[in-house]
């Protein structure tokens, strides 16, 4: 009988050269870059959903600069890793990633690192995620990782995502969010903070993620839930203040800033 070959994963601890294999335009200002390590035959390195990698750029300015981006792919996806980048005027690295990089180009990177992850042994079985704009990317990774195995060993039993974008032209990883919200025990609530008219028949809510919305969707129940928040500082501060005022312990509140 022919021996079945298994893919060997490994941890990359030093700098590596990641090749851009394909690029997807989420919207006019956001790109998802799919990457693989040609030096390792494309074998995916180990990482946890919610972690990030750090890129080094030697030629953008006089001195080398580094920037970190959360992986929007998940460990259960074997063909490549991915980062989703929204173009902003500052820092200009995002403009270069969105405008200049093409399939076949090489990005110098190291990682992954970070503790902004779901931990089965420490966290509650209901994971509530609150994001603003590009702060959704670690949650996209987490949703992709656990959407098909909720309730199984090592996975939460239920996931709820609150995410706010300025308008429907700035949605990020939207196909993934549309897909996962059809799964049992996954809820995605999406608000548009600066859009006056919400198209009929859509799943959007006008406004921002706020205390009233959180309390309404959670039906005033904050027990037996672990909360994660990522995005602008003002959003995260509001979330933490609201949660602590409702009796949530600090060990069940995790935050990650992109600012």
Domain with CATH 2.40.30.10 in the chain: 16-113
Give all strands (DSSP E) within the chain, no chain letters.
Answer: 16-27, 30-36, 52-57, 65-70, 81-86, 106-113, 126-132, 158-165, 186-192, 204-206, 225-231, 253-257
Give me the pLDDT at residue 3, please: 39
pTM over 0.75: yes
- How would you class 211 by CB atoms within 10 Å of its CB: exposed for 0-12, middle for 13-18, buried for 19 or more? middle
The torsion angles phi and psi of 8, rounded to 5 degrees, stand at: -95, 120
Contact 235, 209 (CB under 8 A): yes
**CA distances, 30 to each of 95, 109, 180 (Å):** 10, 20, 20
Give me the pLDDT at residue 91, please: 66
Q: Hey, what CATH topology would domain 126-257 get?
A: Rossmann fold (3.40.50)
Ranges of residues in the chain with a pLDDT under 50 are 1-7
Q: Hey, what CATH topology would domain 16-113 get?
A: Elongation Factor Tu (Ef-tu); domain 3 (2.40.30)
Give me the pLDDT at residue 146, please: 97
Domain with CATH 3.40.50.80 in the chain: 126-257
Contact 90, 99 (CB under 8 A): no
Give me the pLDDT at residue 6, please: 47
DSSP annotation of 34 reads E
């Amino acid at each position: 009988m022919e021996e079945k070959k298994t893919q060997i994963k490994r941890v990359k601890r030093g700098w590596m050269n990641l090749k851009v294999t394909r690029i997807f335009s989420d919207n006019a200002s956001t790109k998802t870059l799919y990457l693989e390590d040609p030096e390792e035959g494309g074998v995916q390195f180990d990482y946890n959903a919610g972690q990030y990698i750090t890129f080094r750029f030697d030629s953008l300015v006089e001195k080398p600069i580094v920037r970190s981006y959360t992986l929007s792919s998940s460990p259960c996806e074997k063909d490549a890793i991915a980062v989703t980048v929204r173009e902003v005027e500052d820092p200009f690295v995002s403009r270069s990633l969105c405008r200049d990089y093409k399939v076949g180009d090489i990005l110098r990177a190291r990682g992954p690192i970070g503790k902004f992850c779901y931990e089965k042994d420490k966290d509650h079985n209901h994971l509530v995620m609150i994001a603003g704009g590009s702060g959704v990317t670690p949650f996209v990774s987490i949703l992709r990782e656990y959407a098909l195995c909720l309730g199984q060993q090592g996975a939460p039993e239920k996931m709820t995502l609150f995410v706010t974008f300025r308008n429907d032209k700035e949605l990020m990883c939207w196909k993934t969010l549309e897909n996962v919200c059809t799964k049992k025990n996954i809820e995605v609530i999406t608000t548009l903070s600066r859009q006056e008219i919400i198209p009929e028949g859509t799943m959007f809510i006008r406004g921002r993620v706020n205390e009233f919305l959180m309390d309404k969707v959670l039906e005033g129940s904050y027990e037996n839930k672990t909360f994660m928040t990522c995005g602008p500082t003002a959003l995260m501060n509001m979330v933490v203040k609201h949660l602590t005022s409702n009796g949530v312990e600090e060990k069940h509140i995790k935050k990650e800033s992109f600012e």
